[in-house]
Chain A
Amino acid sequence: MSLAFIKLEKSYSAPSGKSFKVLGPIDLTVKNGEFVCLLGPTGCGKTTLLRIISGLEQADSGKINRGAGRLGYVFQQGALFPWMNIESNVMFPLKATGMAGSLCRLKAEEILDLVGLYEFRKSFPHELSGGMQQRTALARGLVTGPDLLLLDEPFASLDTRTGINLQEMLRNLCRKLSTTVIFVTHNIEEAVYLSDRIVVMGHRPGRIVRDESLSLEWPRNRLSSTFTEVLLSFRQTFEELVDLSISS
């Protein structure tokens, strides 16, 4: 699914009643099947942007063009349903679209196997660790084979090894289904490893400060010099941003 923002702006009202600008103006076009990582310091409006894309929030001005198709959304805090077991959580988006029960179960089991939670499918969210809950949320976002997948720091509480495996899995699956992905993260290495394109956002108001398609070929080698070069360059952009926001 392709995606375009034109001069998108968003303000919230502060407790004092004064309105402050969170986003914008933002101009961005995402091609069908593109894997875009959204990097940015905390509070710059990444979650807000995803909420606008998904329709949970309305922009104040500007336009957003979204193609038709299924949406997958993995929330920053997981947002699993605590009264359902893992399997039912993952089946939820399938059932919501009226898929037959037995087929739902089959698909859910398949995806739970991919994220390594098959054995835990009958457990409840509170019985799992934070990282396992995140993986469940990821599975729930992926299970429909969405055309547009929005991920809000899905690997934040995973150890490096599991994180890398899941990055691998996510990347392959999205390739196979040619899913358009917006992946929000703080982790620069993760972004450089995964994405076709990295968009760096700055602070107050949230805006795009750097937008670059990566020319690194697949499979990527984290230890290669080209990889580290790209990594360093983005790290620099990021440091400058954070310095700015602290000194301002």
Chain B
Amino acid sequence: MSRLALRKKVRTDLRQRVQSLLPGLVIPTLLLSLWFFFNSRSILPAPGAVLDVLLDPSADLLSCGSLFWNTGVSLIRVLLGLSIAIMLGTPIGFLMGASNRFRHFTSLITELARPLSPIALLPLSIIIFKDTSFTEVLGLNHLKYSRNILNELQIGMIFILAWGGIFPVILETMHGVRGVRKVYIEAARVLGAGRMFIFKHVLFPASLPDIFAGYRMAVGRCWMVIIAAEMLPGTNSGIGYMLRYSYQLSRLDVMLACIFIIAVIGLVFSRGLELLGEKWLLLRARER
């Protein structure tokens, strides 16, 4: 393809993308203008006030840190909990899918534990883990009274995040592995592949799209869980904490800014992972 043609193609691609986004903007615009023009009883602050908060994300707010800091704290908590969920959940789900015996052994406990909301476990986990944070776990006690991200990573909080994330990972992985078509396994077997080789080169790649779907669900759940958890006792940082604190101080401009950030990050998570997963989800198309 010539350079000109290529450039033209890129441009039309871009235009198509933008055009496909436009219809989705109609309703948000309507809502925003409603807010802007009919906010006379001033239940809500003016949009401009919220915008001011958002435009200065590194300013200390309500003396509990900046938007940046608190968003970062929440994100790192989620990332940690999620990593644990993925690192434990993937092999467990994989074994549950691959071995009937292991599934029978574990299914009752996972079925019981799954519907238990992570939030319901928060008080218990605070009792068990107290307010132990990564500072103590890593033996860095001299950092305990300085402002430090490690102080904000409470074990109890990470625990319930891992709890929230692990079940989607386990279940989707299990379904993925169980759903691998039998012919692939049989073909591998008669062609001389051993158990471990089949695990690695047949079961795993064949169930990757499902495994990835599990990760996506886990990210979404963790993001919901962390916001709720931060609104409860046990921490005084994070975007959820900020949300609740601004409510207590009736600072609705800060509150709306927090809500906006939470929504946008949720969107970025799900859309970003969707794009990343498209490469793997292509596998699905290949089977057709």
CB of A205 closer than 8 Å to a CB of B: no
CB of A63 closer than 8 Å to a CB of B: no
CB of B283 closer than 8 Å to a CB of A: yes
> Taking A93-B192, A126-B285, A126-B286 as contacts, is the C-beta distance between A79 and B186 under 8 angstroms?
yes
Contact (Cβ within 8 A) B183 A75: yes
Give the A-B pair count, Cβ closer than 8 A. 62
Which of B191, B193, B205 makes the CB contact (< 8 A) with A140? B191
Q: Compute how far the CA of A24 lies from the CA of B192 in the bound complex, rounded to whole angstroms.
A: 28
Q: Compute how far the CA of A84 lies from the CA of B283 in the bound complex, rounded to whole angstroms.
A: 9
Q: Compute how far the CA of A138 lies from the CA of B287 in the bound complex, rounded to whole angstroms.
A: 19
Contact (Cβ within 8 A) B184 A96: no
> Taking A82-B286, A126-B288 as contacts, is the C-beta distance between A144 and B192 under 8 angstroms?
yes
Which of B190, B202, B206 makes the CB contact (< 8 A) with A56? B190
CB-contacts of A38-56 with B (<8 A)? 54-56
Residues of the A chain whose Cβ atoms lie less than 8 Å from the Cβ of B202: 81
- Interface residue total, chain A, C-beta cutoff 8 A: 25
- Interface residue total, chain B, C-beta cutoff 8 A: 22
Q: Compute how far the CA of A56 lies from the CA of B185 in the bound complex, rounded to whole angstroms.
A: 10
Residue of A nearest to B194 (CB): A96
Q: Compute how far the CA of A126 lies from the CA of B285 in the bound complex, rounded to whole angstroms.
A: 8
Residues of the A chain whose Cβ atoms lie less than 8 Å from the Cβ of B192: 70-71, 93, 96-97, 144
Q: Compute how far the CA of A51 lies from the CA of B194 in the bound complex, rounded to whole angstroms.
A: 18
Residues of the A chain whose Cβ atoms lie less than 8 Å from the Cβ of B260: none
CB-contacts of B147-199 with A (<8 A)? 183-184, 186-194, 197
CB of A77 closer than 8 Å to a CB of B: yes
Interface residues of B (CB under 8 A from A): 183-184, 186-194, 197, 201-202, 205-206, 208, 283, 285-288
Interface residues of A (CB under 8 A from B): 54-56, 70-73, 75, 77, 79, 81-84, 92-93, 95-97, 124-126, 140-141, 144
Extra 9 A-B pairs, beta carbons < 8 Å, given A71-B191, A92-B193, A124-B286:
A54-B190, A71-B190, A75-B183, A81-B184, A82-B283, A92-B201, A93-B192, A96-B193, A96-B201
